[in-house]
Structure 1
Amino acid sequence: MLEVTEVSAGYGEAEVLHGVSLRVGPGEVVTLVGRNGAGKTTLLRCVMGLHPQMTGRVTLDGAEVGGLPPHHRARRGLGLVPDDRGIYAGLSVEENLTLPPVRGASPWPLERVYDTFPVLAARRRFPGGKLSGGEQQMLALARVLRAGARVLLCDEPTEGLAPVIVQQIGEIIREAKEHGVSVLLIEQNLRFAESVADRHYLLAQGRIALEVANTAVKEREHELLAHLGM
């Protein structure tokens, strides 16, 4: 589905990523864990075409997308959920969902969105800026699914949220997976990552240091936590 091959990227003369390669299969949830400053967000921006200073290849369904602008990648099925959520504060929930054009091949109908996110259905007339942090995160996820993304690029979706909301975000990611959506998830919370993911990549100093199947997390937990500084 999504493959990143030997991607290097930086800011000016400072190189942040050094030959990073990873893959996300159809209907697979893969987490990218690592300390702050390891280059995780930069990698998502490279995949989405928002970081021009990069080398390497990004392919989707075997087709090269590395030379395409972000809106063309969105039409191919990539969808970014940024760490700042990026919702329109002055627009209602429903306007946030329906205003962005449907670009992917498999958009979620509004009815499915509201079935999956009942809190958004209840607040459909609320301005986005009046929602809680957890509700804004759900809106950011829902908007990308509504637009037809087949691969979600999620940057720290649980950061700063109450445990009950974190649990709901996990349920939503698992439901999206059941509908065939693939997810590349940046996550600091190893427990949450373990609850949703099939595989994990550890990014350390701009390089992939480990690839761990979810079934092997327990036996390699000390190694992962040592890299994460926990």
Structure 2
Amino acid sequence: MSLLDVDRINTFYGDSHILFDVSLEVRENEVVALLGRNGAGKSTLLKTIAGALSPKSGSIVFGGVPIDRMPAHQIARLGLQLVPEERRVFGGITVHENLQLAAMTAKKPLSFSEIYRTFPRLDERRNNKGKALSGGEQQMVAIARAMIRDAQLILLDEPFEGLAPLIVRDLMNVCQDLAKQGRTIVVVEQNVTAALNMADRCYLLNTGHIVFGGTSAELQQRPEIMNRYLGAAA
């Protein structure tokens, strides 16, 4: 069943046309990867879906509700959460306080025990301030804040950037487990191998256009497309 339908959206930064008639579908309980070189429009697409940017034309429907003209905070209340590349963990307060802040504005927040079962490392570090955390731990907090708000759809922007391979593996497992538990994930990631290993389906963007859509296995069987649009990243 389709959870998110993006239909021919065009998004601009000022006078610069960034996304050109982009269409995609995200089904319930799957992991979808958005791939492409730097500047392809991947992060712009996530921000447009989440309401941080408004498309000039086209439509976005989430859970049967049109959201393309809806403010970001209202979209978040519907159950769609963007985890930005910058993570935006509050450095001056503890891990637990970061989670408490996220839970305060949720209609039906998940229990802290459920969050700490998913991220045992955060349980160990719950009283440590955000600025004392490693990059991987900060990424865990960023994802956990989306989880605690009981998000149906979580948009992850470059979640593995700069992280050690073992941390990447653990976060990949968390994302796959979330999908099994009823969440849906859309991930933008430069680590093509990691993205394809965790994703059911993927879309490939090039200069603001969708140039491929299909399963991860189908893309891996098309080395000419991967070499052309991903180059050394593949």
Normalized against structure 2, the TM-score is what? 0.94
Residue 37 of structure 2: aligned partner:
35
Residue 140 of structure 1: aligned partner:
142
Residue 103 of structure 1: aligned partner:
106
Q: 1:63 aligns with which of 62, 65, 89?
A: 65
CA drift of 1:218 comes to: 2.8
Q: Is 2:185 the partner of 1:187?
A: no
Residue 27 of structure 2: aligned partner:
25
Secondary structure in 2 aligned to 1:88? coil
Q: Is the 8 A contact 1:102 1:148 kept in 2?
A: no
Residue 170 of structure 1: aligned partner:
172
The code of the aligned residue for 1:214 comes to: S
Distance in structure 2 (CA, Å) of the matches to 1:177 and 1:37: 28
Secondary structure in 1 aligned to 2:186? strand
The code of the aligned residue for 1:130 comes to: A
Distance in structure 2 (CA, Å) of the matches to 1:138 and 1:221: 33
CA drift of 1:104 comes to: 5.6
Q: Mark the runs of 5 or more structure 1 residues left unpaired by the alignment.
A: none
CA drift of 1:153 comes to: 0.6
Secondary structure in 2 aligned to 1:83? coil
Give the number of aligned pairs.
229
Distance in structure 1 (CA, Å) of the matches to 2:225 and 2:107: 39
CA drift of 1:10 comes to: 1.2
Q: Alpha-carbon deviations, 1:21-45, whole Å to 9, x = none?
A: 1111000110000010111111111
Residue 84 of structure 1: aligned partner:
86
The code of the aligned residue for 1:129 comes to: K
Residue 206 of structure 2: aligned partner:
204
Distance in structure 2 (CA, Å) of the matches to 1:169 and 1:44: 19
Q: Is 2:227 the partner of 1:225?
A: yes
The code of the aligned residue for 1:195 comes to: N
The code of the aligned residue for 1:24 comes to: V
CA drift of 1:99 comes to: 1.0
Q: 2:76 aligns with which of 74, 77, 99?
A: 74
CA drift of 1:120 comes to: 0.3
Secondary structure in 1 aligned to 2:220? coil
Secondary structure in 2 aligned to 1:217? helix
Q: Is the 8 A contact 2:54 2:68 kept in 1?
A: no
The code of the aligned residue for 2:150 comes to: G
Distance in structure 1 (CA, Å) of the matches to 2:227 and 2:183: 29
Q: Mark the runs of 5 or more structure 2 residues left unpaired by the alignment.
A: none
Choose 48-57 or 144-153, whichever is displaced more.
48-57
Q: Is the 8 A contact 1:34 1:202 kept in 2?
A: yes
Residue 18 of structure 2: aligned partner:
16
Q: Is the 8 A contact 2:54 2:69 kept in 1?
A: no
The code of the aligned residue for 2:83 comes to: V
Secondary structure in 1 aligned to 2:190? coil
